[in-house]
Chain A
């Protein structure tokens, strides 16, 4: 046993904790007093926080704090600052025509960025992120447009919607030929095969082209056109191309003829500000299918 019982380290003169591990002792060096003061200072500092910032919960609210600072107001301020920063570009966007935006690389880039954000917030729930679409919700990346793919067309669709509550909404619906007893079951089957034939798809055995063509000419051609090329005024799809909003199998086509189709797109005018609608228009137009 050494002199440990005295709890003083011989070399440094510092008291030890009295514990020993493999011949090593831990010095019990007292903490410097300034450290203690620093600790007290941090406590005082924290009191400052209580006073300056919202801190104490009350029955239905919390203490306000001297600065009146609030997470929500902070967000609002940040957004305001952002808007100030974007201000000149937004103003430019507001003043420019859609074509001017599409031609100017800087405005185009800004509009696309704005549009992408607005699309994700407002449009993606139906059209999918990236506008990839789903059954009944058009894919906005392709070049098949129900109501037209020029900037002006897209802008109109976004502003007023399709079969929406807006006065200027795009209107026109596929009637329910079966449910409303306009066509008989056999006729529906024949015309469905005819529609598939128009698109170059296979038809069922026993399909009578004559009957199909006649039913089509009498009932469908008004909207879809003699050749089935569709009519953008009415939102009647082109039946000859490779893009099918609901599906190209015979059952789905018969469903549509029997019960009609009439999907709705809400109008955004009045809900989104004009520059956002412009940005959305440009964004959708540049996804790939935009027409000149």
Chain B
């Protein structure tokens, strides 16, 4: 069984190579009964080293963009007229509305959320099929905030080496001060993260003022406290542990991948056997094979989850690409070709070892299917939104009694008619029915047939339809209910039945 085929679990892959050999040797000598193995392991602290390069730049850009959107979006205004909130993105629970720029969603339109979730899931799947854990490496809030918290940590406590040394030595006033500074900054960021969260649920400028003056509702403070805590704990303390032990996505994505999906991979065909520059020169001069990996451990040191990617595909690897940057920097210094670590497939490594050309296949069944589902679902949603009705009418027939016989023998059916006005102005609708010969229509509480509905509101009225026509026994007539906007003449209809004895 080839070493690189085994999928390792957890950051244990970061056990450094000589240590690994020693472990294996020791195990051979003394296998020991498995019951003696420790049940719980202490966590190894990851001191991720800073790094420069292409992927780091991409990550900074995405970090600025995503956090910028998150923190600032609630303050973006959007004019919807005098009767509606002017916040571009607002989840208005008390009034049961969701606003997103020009889109306004009512609770009964929650199926848009279903569509959104389908698109989101398929996008994740598609990312995964194209290049592995793009989500994890660049976009996941856990990654983005952890990245930010790492940066803050480095600012206060220095880069990997400095930080490690300080931690190993006794606590001095200086290191204590830098630690306190770090935690205060972390808490500040975490607090502002929670603060931004609640702004999506109420008018942001008003809420900011209320929060400052202590007038905001308790629930707002509670949510800020919860999110401050989770952000601080998850991004400051838990970090890679969230990805390793708490998040379901690594498990799911491992089941979704295939041999063509690009992943951050150590090209061991090129890297092995590892040897120092001197030794490789020597080996090469002798015509023997020498790998390009100089075993400098840079890829391990920059890894935010403490993975040694050279051990093969690893559950702990969130595929952030930082080890690529680290390795490329070394390769450039040595004047060797970059890309010893890169987005690659295991299959291609095997092919190169056999002297065959690499294959990259972006268009394949799964990517096409994922893209098609995204496109179709997105298309349906866009169409539904584009043609969204601003008027609605629905009818519920009285169940008990289904019909009523009046004193003079006339037959009456009663209905609850609900009218929806999704526009921001009050509107009046004329109600009429069709599908029955002679009839009387009475609307309870409305002398005429005109029904007034307030802006962005629904109104239910009780309507009585009575006929003196002779009905066949067991008659069940199809009845049209038509509402016509008294102002614009817009016509909306629905249907129900008129039931006879």
Contact = CB atoms under 8 A, between A and B. Distances in A.
Do A and B interact?
A: yes
Interface of A: 2-3, 5-15, 17-18, 23, 27-36, 102-103, 105, 108-109, 112, 128-130, 132-133, 139, 141-144, 238, 241-243, 286-289
Given A10-B3, A31-B40, A144-B406, A132 B9 contact: no
A141 B41 contact: no
Contacts of A241: 407-408
Contacts of B32: 7
Given A31-B40, A108-B444, A17 B34 contact: yes
Given A11-B6, A32-B245, A102-B445, 6 more contacts: A12-B6, A13-B23, A29-B9, A33-B43, A141-B404, A288-B464
A36 B27 CA distance: 27
Contact of A32 (B15, B40, B404, B462): B40
A33 B38 CA distance: 11
Contacts of A2: 1
Nearest to B414: A288
Contacts of B119: none
A12 B311 contact: yes
A33 B40 contact: yes
A31 B452 CA distance: 64
Contacts of A35: 40, 245
A112 B6 CA distance: 70
A142 B407 contact: yes
Contacts of B398: 130
B412 A14 contact: no
Contact of B41 (A3, A32, A128, A286): A32
Find the residue from A14, A133, A139, A289 having the highest chain B CB count within 10 A: A14
A41 to B, nearest CB: 12
Interface in B439-453: 444-446, 452
Contacts of A102: 445
A260 B11 CA distance: 92
B401 A132 contact: yes
B350 to A, nearest CB: 16
A23 B3 CA distance: 13
Contacts of A103: 445
B500 to A, nearest CB: 14
Interface residues of B, number: 50
Contacts of A141: 401, 404, 412, 414
B406 A143 contact: yes
A238 B407 contact: yes
B31 to A, nearest CB: 5
23 contacts: A3-B28, A6-B24, A6-B31, A7-B27, A7-B31, A8-B23, A10-B6, A11-B312, A15-B27, A15-B37, A17-B34, A18-B34, A28-B37, A32-B43, A33-B41, A34-B43, A105-B452, A130-B401, A132-B400, A139-B401, A141-B414, A242-B408, A288-B404
A275 to B, nearest CB: 18
A29 B10 contact: yes
A243 B404 CA distance: 10
A-B pairs, top 9 by smallest CB distance, nearest first, are A130-B400, A132-B401, A12-B8, A241-B407, A8-B27, A30-B41, A141-B404, A11-B6, A144-B407
Interface in B183-242: 241
A35 B245 CA distance: 9
A166 B426 CA distance: 48
B12 A14 contact: yes
Interface string B402-444: 0011111100101000000000000000000000000000001
Nearest to A11: B6
B1 A23 contact: yes
B399 interface: yes
Contacts of A32: 40-43, 241, 244-245
Contacts of B400: 128-130, 132
A195 to B, nearest CB: 16
B13 interface: yes
A83 B409 CA distance: 43
Contacts of A133: 401
Contacts of A243: 405-407
Contacts of A17: 34
A29 to B, nearest CB: 5
B62 interface: no
B43 A242 contact: no
Best-surrounded residue of B34, B241, B404, B408 (most CB of chain A within 10 A): B404
A9 B32 CA distance: 14
Contacts of B8: 9, 11-12, 14, 27
B355 to A, nearest CB: 25
Contacts of A108: 444-445
B165 interface: no
> Which of A28, A102, A128 has most B Cβ within 10 Å?
A28
B255 interface: no
B37 A30 contact: yes
Contacts of B20: 13
B173 interface: no
Interface string B299-319: 000000000000110000000
Given A12-B9, A27-B8, A33-B43, A242 B27 contact: no
Given A242-B409, A286-B462, A12 B31 contact: no
Interface in B233-290: 241, 244-245
A36 B241 CA distance: 14
A112 B244 CA distance: 57
Contacts of A128: 400-401
Contact of B34 (A15, A23, A112, A288): A15
B365 interface: no
Contacts of A29: 9-10, 12, 41
B363 interface: no
Residue with the greatest number of chain B CB neighbours at <10 A, chosen from A6, A112, A129: A6
Contacts of B23: 8, 13
Given A28-B37, A130-B400, A12 B407 contact: no
Contacts of A289: 404, 406
Nearest to B21: A13
Contacts of A23: 1
B39 interface: yes
Nearest to A112: B462
B429 to A, nearest CB: 14
A7 B353 CA distance: 30
A5 B27 CA distance: 10
Most-contacted residue by chain A among B28, B245, B405 (CB, 10 A): B405
B399 A130 contact: yes
A6 B245 contact: no
Given A2-B1, A144-B407, A243-B407, A14 B10 contact: yes
A31 B41 contact: yes
Contacts of B19: 13
